[in-house]
Amino acid sequence: MAEELETERSDVRDDGRRPPRAVVGSHRIEEEIFGKVFDSDIVRRIWGFVRPYRTKIYWAVLAVLTFTAMQLLIPLIIRYAIDHGMQAGSDSQSILIWSIVAFLAAILINFGASYAQETLVGGVAEDVLFDIRRAMFTHLQRVSLSWMDKTEVGRLMSRLQGDVNSMQEFLETSVLSVGDITLLFGIVFVMLTLDFKLGLLTLCALPVLFVVRLFWLPRARKSFMAAHETNSIANGALAEAIHGVRAVQSMDRQSVNFTLYDDKARANLNTHLNAAKYAQVMVPIVDSLTGLAMALVVVVGGARVLNQALDVGVMVAFLFYIQRFFDPIRSLTLQYSVMQRAMASGQRLTEVLDVPVDVQDAPNAKVLTSDMDGSVEFKDVVFGYNPKHPVLKHVSFKVNPGETVALVGPTGSGKSSCMSLIHRFYDVQKGQVLVGGHDVRDLTQESLGRQIAMVLQEPFLFTGTVFENIRYHKTDATREQVVEAAKAVGAHEFIMRMPDGYESILGQRGGNLSLGQRQLLSFARALVADAKILVLDEATANIDSYTEMLIQKALVKLLEGRTGLVIAHRLATIREADRIIVLQNGELIESGNHRELMKNKKLYSKLYNLNYSSFDDIPEDVIEEAVTEQAT
């Protein structure tokens, strides 16, 4: 399994890019789980999302404080009823009645405040969670591909899911912690006010709790982090095994993979048991301290009651307050870890939101209209994904309106890079890329995208109906236009054989279709887009010969009145182009139609005469030999 590997891939893509470093199953890919206890910058950024709902937050805080006030008031009502309502006299009955009324009123207010705080806080947290996810999704749709190329999708998904959930948990508990802190100080104040000496005696348990926490906190933090790390490793192994189940079964790796996963799952179990031990150990300690404090109040307070130095109601109130005293301490202990996770999660979220968008519309960008001529021109273009290592070196060529041009060359020659620059997925370092006579940097990206339809080597279909996928580029396309496009590319027949025809639901990435069928749908999508420029990036590389024959016939209609740029490795496909541009190591070597290039007897001619069916089939040493012969 890939978890066993910790190495840098050495393969290079066709466009010359080196894939990002892949370190799978290693602790090095684990992101920081706990951050600072409090980071003002992160809190300020998150407050930006909370600000639209600040009125609800204020009401929620008021509800929390009201709830806390009732928690402090109820023992005082009970104390008053005991000390004044149980004495002999004519007013005792009325005092008890009013005490009961006050008690019931406090209970009702307590219920209302609790309901309000839970509803308001929960609602705001959900709204903020929605806004953060929407902001991240919107930003990731616009972020430059140069950043996406070196970012792991799994880590992004973690930020969109787990980290946003951590922020939601933080928002919910942070408002409630206001009540915990108020209740803690309120109980101390009331106890010291009722009886200063007995209050000090009750608080003597706090130093013990402080010493325990001093030793407990670092060990608990370490165990919690270990549990999170092993959980991530086990989940990563599980996800990888599920995605690669076809390869696993084909190589009969089930038993080996089970052993490897079992080790990770067992390590996860052990760390979680250890974390649970540290999480639970505080409960009996706090309960023991609560019992100790109550015992002190009963013994010392009872003796003073017998000596008539203390009212019974005061002692009973003390017992109620002690029962509530350690609850906010326990809650604030949990809040400590929640805040640490939230600060780390907030840091990662803001990193994504702050990713600069390198490719942006110019302030005075023009709208590329449908009446543009469809020409494409490269003027002395220099481009590299890493500017220090250019993939294209001073490349210049022009594709005339309505012309079909094939870009050919060995792997890594820069063909796909040219296609990416036409759509302005990246910006050139030097030179210009012109579409319709306009520099693509002077056009709005939206209007440029409307005039360029792309069909890639690996078609990407989305979960939804066949109809929705075909009109994905042009959402206002009619059913007649969709059906006509499907018929033009030869997809209509297999679509109609599906259970619900054009309303059939496609599985994830079109998994319930063959590769050829998925590619035919992507061709139909490009035709429906009705763009002036059609870009085919190795679109027939993974299609069988029969399907490719159908596509070649459909392309004649597809390219009518359109400018076509085709990356095709198969020499049979290249021959039909109006013009062929040959690239080698990012440089334009020669240009012309098939007949002209064969007469030139240069690189294209030499490679073609080797009788390989595809440029990709030609060994690198043979290509280098041909280049050397041409140079001499």
3-state secondary structure 348-378: HHHHHHCCCCCCCCCCCCECCCCCCCCCEEE
Contact between 552 and 570 under an 8 Å Cβ cutoff? The reply is no
Amino acid letter, 632: T
Comparing 31 with 86, the larger pLDDT belongs to 86
Contact between 528 and 481 under an 8 Å Cβ cutoff? The reply is yes
CA atoms within 13 A on the CB side of 191: 26
Highest mean pLDDT among 63-77, 276-290, 446-460 belongs to: 63-77
The DSSP annotation for 247-282 comes to: HHHHTT-HHHHHHHHHHHHHHHHHHHHHHHHHHHHH
What is the pLDDT, as a whole number, of residue 21? Answer: 34
CA atoms within 13 A on the CB side of 486: 24
Domain boundaries, the chain: 34-195+337-354, 197-309
DSSP state of 614: B
What is the reported pTM? 0.63
Q: 71 in the Ramachandran plot: left (φ > 0), alpha (ψ -120 to 50) or beta?
A: alpha
Could you tell me the CA-to-CA distances from 332 to 58, 110, 326, 336, 572 in Å, in that order? Answer: 21, 21, 10, 6, 72
* Mean pLDDT of the chain, nearest integer: 78
User: What does CATH list as the number for 34-195+337-354?
Assistant: 1.20.1560.10
Predicted confidence band at 314 (pLDDT cuts at 50, 70, 90)?
A: confident
Contact between 534 and 402 under an 8 Å Cβ cutoff? The reply is no
Q: How far apart are CA 119 and CA 123, in angstroms?
A: 6
Contact between 323 and 108 under an 8 Å Cβ cutoff? The reply is no
Share of the chain above pLDDT 90, in %: 9
pLDDT at 560 over 90: no
The closest alpha carbon to 486, from 527, 547, 537, belongs to: 527
Q: What is the mean pLDDT of the segment spanning 233-238?
A: 76
User: If you count them, how many residues does the chain have?
Assistant: 632
Q: How far apart are CA 573 and CA 561, in angstroms?
A: 20
pLDDT at 538 over 50: yes
What is the pLDDT, as a whole number, of residue 561? Answer: 75
Largest CA distance in the chain: 125
pLDDT tens string 143-163: 666 566 555 555 566 556 667
